[in-house]
A and B are shown apart, each in its own frame.
Chain A
Amino acid sequence: MNFEHVAGKDKGKIRLFALSTCIWCKKTRELLSSMGVAFDYIYVDLLKGEERAEAIAEVKKYNPSTSFPTLVIGEKCVVGLKEKEIKEALAG
Chain B
Amino acid sequence: MNEEFAEPTGEEVERLYSRLDKDARQGGYNLNQDADFVRGLVKGLLINVRRYGYQACPCRLAAGDKALDLDIICPCDYRDADVAEFGACYCALYVSKAVLKGDKELSCIPERRPPQEEREKIKQKQKAPGEREALGADIAKVALKLSLPVWRCTVCGYLCARDAPPEVCPICKAGKERFERFI
Contacts and interface: CB of A to CB of B under 8 A. Distances in A.
A20 B47 CA distance: 10
Contacts of B40: 23, 26
A56 interface: yes
A25 B45 CA distance: 15
Contacts of A64: 115
Contact of A45 (B43, B62, B116): B62
A23 B58 contact: yes
A19 B3 contact: no
Interface of A: 19-26, 43-46, 56, 64-68, 79-82
Chain A at the B interface: SS class: loop
Contacts of A21: 43-45, 47-48, 58-59
Contacts of A68: 59-61
Contacts of B48: 21
B91 interface: yes
Given A45-B62, A80-B108, 4 more contacts: A19-B58, A21-B45, A26-B40, A43-B1
A81 B58 contact: no
B61 A23 contact: no
Nearest 4 interchain pairs by C-beta: A21-B44, A21-B58, A80-B108, A67-B111
B41 interface: yes
Nearest to A47: B1
Contact of A24 (B43, B91, B110, B114): B91
* Residue among A21, A44, A66, A82 with max Cβ neighbours from chain B (10 Å): A21
B152 to A, nearest CB: 26
A65 B61 contact: no
A21 B43 CA distance: 8
19 contacts: A19-B61, A21-B43, A22-B58, A22-B91, A23-B41, A23-B44, A23-B59, A24-B59, A24-B108, A26-B40, A44-B61, A45-B62, A46-B1, A46-B3, A65-B111, A65-B115, A67-B60, A68-B59, A68-B61
A46 B134 CA distance: 43
Interface string B45-66: 1011000000000111110000
